[in-house]
């Protein structure tokens, strides 16, 4: 009993590793978010590479409830070679940190600041998830599970883009197959709920 209770409590708090991450992002259907220090990372997602390509773009909604600025300085995952943070939407060819002013919300979205994921080593299945680590200058590191959206998705969990992608790839519109308890699928159940 004690074990089970500990287990649940742990699962409801911050992510500290892959094993816990499996459970930490479940719960209410809308809770696709992660806390680290004064920061909250909401709906992390990425545009999957177009067919034959090996780079993707990462986005999220970043909240800083703290009294001091912070910066997203790096993104890591075993699944890609490197990431470049493009924090200045006016100079997207430059690699600059994504700056989070105090008491602010910053939405990374297509056309603005983003993180380029390069040299992707694994096929990223649209509709599933990618585990990654975000590195903030002050708040430190947090493990997240980013939703893998279609290459032309306009926002996180873009169901229309997903449907187009599925049609173009000969899949029905029922979403990814019910993998037997596959963690990535469970992470993004809320996406399926929206249909
Ligand atoms: Cu989400």
12: in domain? no
Contact 141, 34 (CB under 8 A): no
Phi, psi of 165 (to 5 degrees): -60, -45
21: in domain? no
41: in domain? yes
Q: What is the CATH number of the domain that holds 125?
A: 2.60.40.1890
Mean pLDDT of 132-145: 98
Q: What's the gap in Å between 2 CA and the centre of ligand 1?
A: 32
Tell me how many domains the chain contains: 1
Distances (CA, A) of 62 to 45, 57, 81, 119: 12, 16, 24, 25
So what's the pLDDT on residue 131? Answer: 96
So what's the pLDDT on residue 172? Answer: 66
In tens, the pLDDT along 76-85 reads 999 999 999 9
Q: What's the gap in Å between 101 CA and the centre of ligand 1?
A: 23
So what's the pLDDT on residue 171? Answer: 80
Distances (CA, A) of 110 to 8, 23, 152, 168: 36, 29, 9, 22
Q: What's the gap in Å between 99 CA and the centre of ligand 1?
A: 22
Neighbours of 7 (CB within 10 A): 12
Phi, psi of 9 (to 5 degrees): -60, -45
77: in domain? yes
Q: How far apart are CA 102 and CA 69, in angstroms?
A: 5
8: in domain? no
Mean pLDDT of 19-41: 67
So what's the pLDDT on residue 176? Answer: 53
71: in domain? yes
Domain around 123: 29-168+182-193
């Amino acid at each position: 009993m004690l074990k089970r209770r500990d287990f649940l409590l742990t699962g409801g708090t911050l992510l500290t590793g892959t094993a816990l991450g499996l459970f930490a992002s479940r719960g209410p259907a809308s809770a696709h978010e992660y806390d680290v220090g004064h920061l909250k990372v909401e709906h992390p997602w990425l545009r999957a590479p177009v067919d034959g390509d090996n780079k993707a773009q990462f986005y999220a909604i970043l909240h800083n409830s703290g009294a001091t600025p912070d910066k997203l300085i790096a993104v890591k995952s075993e699944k890609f070679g490197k990431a470049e943070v493009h924090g200045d939407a006016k100079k997207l060819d430059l690699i600059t940190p994504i700056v989070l002013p105090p008491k602010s919300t910053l939405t990374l979205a297509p056309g603005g600041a983003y993180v380029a994921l390069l040299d992707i080593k694994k096929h990223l299945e649209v509709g599933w998830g990618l585990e990654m680590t975000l590195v903030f200058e002050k708040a430190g590191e947090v493990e997240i599970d980013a939703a893998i959206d279609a290459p032309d998705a306009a926002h996180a969990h873009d169901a229309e883009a997903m449907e187009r992608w599925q049609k173009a790839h000969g899949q029905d519109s029922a979403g990814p197959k019910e993998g037997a308890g596959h963690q990535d699928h469970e992470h993004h159940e809320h996406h399926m709920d929206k249909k």
